[in-house]
Amino acid sequence: MGRYDFRALRVRQNAKALVDSKRNPALPLWYNIVGDIPPSETLARPVLRAPRPKGNSKPSRMFQPLPIVYPEDRLRKDFFGDHPWELARPRIILEDSGNDAKGYDWSRIEQPGKPLDGESVVQRQLWLMQHEKLPKAQAYDKARREFYRHRHLEAVKRRVAKEEALSTGAYFGKGPLEVGMELEDQAFEHWRNWATQQIETEQANRAQMMSGPQNETQELSEGELDLAVEEVAESIPATNEGKSALGGAMLHP
Amino acid sequence: MIIRSVVWRQGRRAVAQKFWQPLRTFSSAVDSIDSSAQNSLKQLHSLEAQINAAAPTATPVASIDPETATTAQSAVSESLADQYHRFKARESELGDLGTEISPHYQPNTLLNNPPSPADVTLELLLASEAHQGHATSLWNPANARYIHGIRQGIHIISLETTAAHLRRAAKVVQEVSRRGGIVLFVGTRPGQERAVVKAAELSKGYHLFERWIPGSITNGQQILGRCKTKVVNEKDEEVQGFEEQLFDRAALRPDLVVCLNPLENYVLLHECALNNIPTIGVIDTNADPTWVTYPIPANDDSLRCIQVIAGVLGRAGEQGSKQRLAAAEKGVITFPPARNLRLPEEPEAEAEAPKRESEALGRLLDGAEAISSHIKPELFSTSKSDHSLHNADDLGDMLDETNNHETNRRIKQVV
């Protein structure tokens, strides 16, 4: 076994060999088919770029595919560099038949069946550069202005359509901001209820603390006072026994 | 339709509103309001009259059957006809408003009506994203000759190569199914089920959309031994009476395996290679083309692309099986006889006809049990004496024999 397993590619030769060595009684039914329609050549690497050895270095990357570059690429980079939010607009990239781009005529920026987007500007700019022989910057300016104008018209159309619809009784429901504000209001109300409850319980606790049973802090009776004084008297700091007892029953009842 | 009627309704309403608008401006003077209201009403009526005049509603409409129709029925039909004519008038006025949707991509058409090999165009492959490979770091350098270039960090598969390989694979499927071979379509990725089943349906082949049980070929007797087998004749009609012979017969193997996701089915492809079964596989830029006999370089991650490829191969198989059945109608049998299968016939019939051989061809079907492979051998009966005359294919082989020494032995083996 080498690095590659060519058994899949050599099914015909193997079938023949098996029949020749009488392992198999007959050739499979696909034997002639695979002979007539042979598998294509595999593992052949076409030379994709001319070797350019520098000095004594060996030619490298000769068999690696080359990048595909189009003249629009730079224009696209410029436009989307200047208008990065154009990339945030939703866009349909599904192809209908694969011939979608063949029906476009870039002598005007609007195309039937294609929404206006940054790609329109790029294609229009390229068309202006190729057909009207405008310099790049000028073509960019022209295409850009047309784009802005159509975007403005679109906004106007949208507004007018909305007004018309409203005038004939349409109801569009709540907008995202209204929905957001409602949710925020709900959250605030919830918090307010919670906070009111907290304040009430806190106040109740405090009131209970103030008006609770007072007899917990007991006054020392005469006898107890005497005892305590005696305890303290025993631990006078001057003596050895008194040093450990800091304070006493009277100080910490 | 709905949009048009809405436009008409709203338009009429808007017109009516327009006439009533002066009310607001002259609200101070009561009589002026009255007069303007009257005016606008008149205008409205005149407009309606115009519309009615424009429509051919003025013509009296006869009922469907004036003799039998009662008065009430005729009134109803008149109003219906009236409405119809008004609708027609409206249509002629406003019919060209609105947009027209040009033919567009419908995902179900690739499954319900798949393209045939003749319909394979570079545009179709492009639209189905067959050209998109994987990131350049994931490539298998063995695929260098299928790759057109690098775009945005991924390899772009050359669509000319894809189309050429797809047509070649379609030809193989067609020929194998014309020769009555067992074609197994395998696509085990989620979403590929319908495409695989449709391809198998079209080509009268077999499908697998769940897991390939390892050893179904190399250890077929253990895994598929219990599966049902049947014998069919050249017109695909089942022939009874072979049950005892089929009982201890080896499990059938496919003659051609079409694998739509080779990366997940290495075991299957390896078993096919071990058992000398040709395979067709969709090879993306990260797959190894030596795993399959006939690679189709394409994007195996796009369901649309897989549907196109499976559909094309299924259509090719359909053509092949149609050719086989058409030949069978003419009495020409395009597949070789089965081995070790005897017709369970009466002795006198066997005596008068030369010994007849039958061919068993198998059919792997998805069923309730383990791997779910039913096997459907096909019966082939031809007399041994004038074998080559009855069988056009063998006639061709005889011609081949004169040209090609390689086939010489094969003919002898068959006969």
Residue B411 lies in a domain: no
Cβ atoms of B252 and B182 closer than 8 Å:
yes
Statement to judge: residues B66 and B15 lie in one domain: yes
d(CA A117, CA A109): 10
Summarize pLDDT for B317-348 with one digit per residue, the tens. Answer: 999 999 999 999 999 998 887 888 887 765 44
d(CA B241, CA A168): 77
Closest in B127, B172, B274 to A37, CB measured: B172
Residue B364 lies in a domain: no
What pLDDT is attached to residue B47? 61
Shortest alpha-carbon distance between residue A22 and chain B (Å)? 10
Q: Which of A6, A18, A21, A30 to mutate to test the interface with B (most CBs of B within 10 A)?
A: A30
- List of chain A residues whose C-beta atoms are within 8 Å of the C-beta of residue B291: 5, 8
Give exposure, B106-132, as e/b (b: 16+ Cβ within 10 Å).
eeeebeeebbbbeebeebbbbbbbbbb
Cα torsion angle, B192, B193, B197, B200, sign: positive
d(CA A132, CA A125): 10
Q: Is A11 on the interface with B (CB under 8 A)?
A: yes
Statement to judge: residues A78 and A144 lie in one domain: yes
Q: Is B13 on the interface with A (CB under 8 A)?
A: yes
- List of chain A residues whose C-beta atoms are within 8 Å of the C-beta of residue B125: 98
Statement to judge: residues B128 and B9 lie in one domain: no
d(CA B186, CA B264): 11
What pLDDT is attached to residue B358? 36
Domain residues for the domain of B209 are: 114-217+253-316
How many Cβ atoms sit within 10 Å of the Cβ of residue B264? 16
Shortest alpha-carbon distance between residue A103 and chain B (Å)? 12
Statement to judge: residues B122 and B75 lie in one domain: no
Contact B144 A25 (CB under 8 A): no
Residue A96 lies in a domain: no
Query: What does the H/E/C string look like for A100-141?
Result: HHHHCCCCCCCECCECCCHHHHHHHHHHHHHHCCCCHHHHHH
What pLDDT is attached to residue B114? 95
Statement to judge: residues A162 and A76 lie in one domain: yes
d(CA B365, CA B371): 9
Write down the ipTM of this complex. 0.70
Torsion of CA A207, A209, A211, A215, to 10 degrees: 180
Statement to judge: residues A139 and A82 lie in one domain: yes
- List of chain B residues whose C-beta atoms are within 8 Å of the C-beta of residue A39: 293-295
Statement to judge: residues B80 and B161 lie in one domain: no
Q: Helical H runs in A136-221?
A: 136-167, 176-211
- List of chain A residues whose C-beta atoms are within 8 Å of the C-beta of residue B290: 4-6, 8-9, 42-43
Residue A87 lies in a domain: yes
| Helix H or strand E encompassing A13 | helix A11-20
Domain residues for the domain of A150 are: 72-91+104-167
Residue of A nearest to B14 (CA): A168
Contact A32 B400 (CB under 8 A): yes
What's the total number of domains in chain A? 2
- List of chain B residues whose C-beta atoms are within 8 Å of the C-beta of residue A40: 165, 168, 294-295
What pLDDT is attached to residue B62? 46
Q: Is A92 on the interface with B (CB under 8 A)?
A: no
Phi, psi (degrees; rounded to nearest 5) at A83: -125, 70
Q: Which residues contact A190 (CB under 8 A, 6 or more apart)?
A: none
What's the total number of domains in chain B? 2
Residue B327 lies in a domain: no
Choose one of B293, B316, B339: the last residue of a domain. Answer: B316
Residue B368 lies in a domain: no
Contact B273 A94 (CB under 8 A): no
Q: Is A142 on the interface with B (CB under 8 A)?
A: no
Shortest alpha-carbon distance between residue B398 and chain A (Å)? 13
Contact A94 B148 (CB under 8 A): no
Choose one of B261, B281, B316: the last residue of a domain. Answer: B316
DSSP result, B263-301: GG-HHHHHHHHHTT--EEEEE-TTS-GGGSSEEEES-TT
DSSP result, B99-128: --PPP---HHHHHHSPPPGGG--HHHHHHT
What pLDDT is attached to residue B225? 86
Contact B141 A42 (CB under 8 A): no
Residue B90, CB-side half-sphere exposure with 13 Å CA sphere:
18
First to last CA, chain B: 69
For residue B331, which amino acid is it?
G
Q: Which residues contact B257 (CB under 8 A, 6 or more apart)?
A: B183, B184, B186, B268, B269, B272, B277, B278, B279, B280
Statement to judge: residues B27 and B123 lie in one domain: no
Contact A96 B105 (CB under 8 A): yes
Statement to judge: residues A79 and A162 lie in one domain: yes
Cβ atoms of A7 and B273 closer than 8 Å:
yes
A-B contacts (CB, under 8 Å): 145
What pLDDT is attached to residue B147? 95
Residue of B nearest to A11 (CA): B276
Statement to judge: residues B260 and B203 lie in one domain: yes
User: Within chain B, how many helices (H) and strands (E) appear?
Assistant: 16, 10
Statement to judge: residues A2 and A83 lie in one domain: no
Residue B147 lies in a domain: yes
- List of chain A residues whose C-beta atoms are within 8 Å of the C-beta of residue B279: 8
Contact A96 B289 (CB under 8 A): no
Choose one of A121, A136, A167: the last residue of a domain. Answer: A167
d(CA B188, CA B306): 12
Choose one of B292, B316, B340: the last residue of a domain. Answer: B316
Per-residue pLDDT of chain A (253 residues; tens, 9 = 90+): 457 889 999 999 999 999 999 999 999 999 999 999 999 988 888 988 887 777 878 888 889 999 999 999 999 999 999 999 999 999 988 888 888 888 899 999 999 889 999 999 999 999 999 999 999 999 999 999 999 999 999 999 999 999 999 999 999 889 999 999 999 999 999 999 999 999 999 999 999 988 866 555 566 777 888 887 777 766 655 655 555 555 555 555 5
Could you give the angle at the alpha carbon of B169 between the alpha carbons of B166 and B175, nearest 5°?
140
Statement to judge: residues B192 and B89 lie in one domain: no
Statement to judge: residues B16 and B163 lie in one domain: no
Contact A39 B294 (CB under 8 A): yes
d(CA A96, CA B101): 12
Statement to judge: residues B260 and B123 lie in one domain: yes
Q: Which residue is it, tokens 């307010």?
A: A192
Ranges of residues in chain B with a pLDDT under 70 are: 1-41, 43-77, 345-415
Statement to judge: residues A113 and A154 lie in one domain: yes
Statement to judge: residues B25 and B65 lie in one domain: yes
Q: Is A37 on the interface with B (CB under 8 A)?
A: yes
d(CA B373, CA A93): 41
Q: Is A195 on the interface with B (CB under 8 A)?
A: no
Using only C-alpha atoms, chain B has a radius of gyration, in whole angstroms, of: 35
Statement to judge: residues B269 and B170 lie in one domain: yes
Summarize pLDDT for B158-200 with one digit per residue, the tens. Answer: 999 999 999 999 999 999 999 999 999 999 999 999 999 999 9
Closest in A4, A43, A96 to B104, CB measured: A96
- List of chain B residues whose C-beta atoms are within 8 Å of the C-beta of residue A22: none
d(CA A150, CA A146): 6
d(CA A137, CA B182): 64
Residue of A nearest to B414 (CA): A26
Residue A177 lies in a domain: no
Choose one of A114, A144, A167: the last residue of a domain. Answer: A167
What pLDDT is attached to residue B292? 95
Contact B278 A30 (CB under 8 A): yes
Shortest alpha-carbon distance between residue B349 and chain A (Å)? 28
Choose one of A133, A150, A167: the last residue of a domain. Answer: A167
- List of chain A residues whose C-beta atoms are within 8 Å of the C-beta of residue B324: none
Residue B225 lies in a domain: no
Closest in A8, A18, A43 to B291, CB measured: A8
Residue B347 lies in a domain: no
Q: Is A99 on the interface with B (CB under 8 A)?
A: yes
Residue of B nearest to A22 (CA): B413
Residues of B (49-108) whose Cβ lies below 8 Å from A? 102-105
For residue B293, which amino acid is it?
T
Statement to judge: residues A25 and A108 lie in one domain: no
Q: What's the CATH code of the domain at B291? A: 3.40.50.10490
Statement to judge: residues B83 and B127 lie in one domain: no
Residue A85 lies in a domain: yes
Statement to judge: residues A108 and A162 lie in one domain: yes
Cβ atoms of B51 and B89 closer than 8 Å:
yes
| Helix H or strand E encompassing B160 | helix B159-178
Q: Is B290 on the interface with A (CB under 8 A)?
A: yes
Contact A28 B255 (CB under 8 A): yes
Residues of B (236-255) whose Cβ lies below 8 Å from A? 255
Residue A98 lies in a domain: no
Ranges of beta strands (E only) in B164-251 are: 183-186, 206-208, 231-232, 238-239
- List of chain B residues whose C-beta atoms are within 8 Å of the C-beta of residue A25: 339, 413
Contact A11 B144 (CB under 8 A): no
Closest in A6, A34, A64 to B290, CB measured: A6
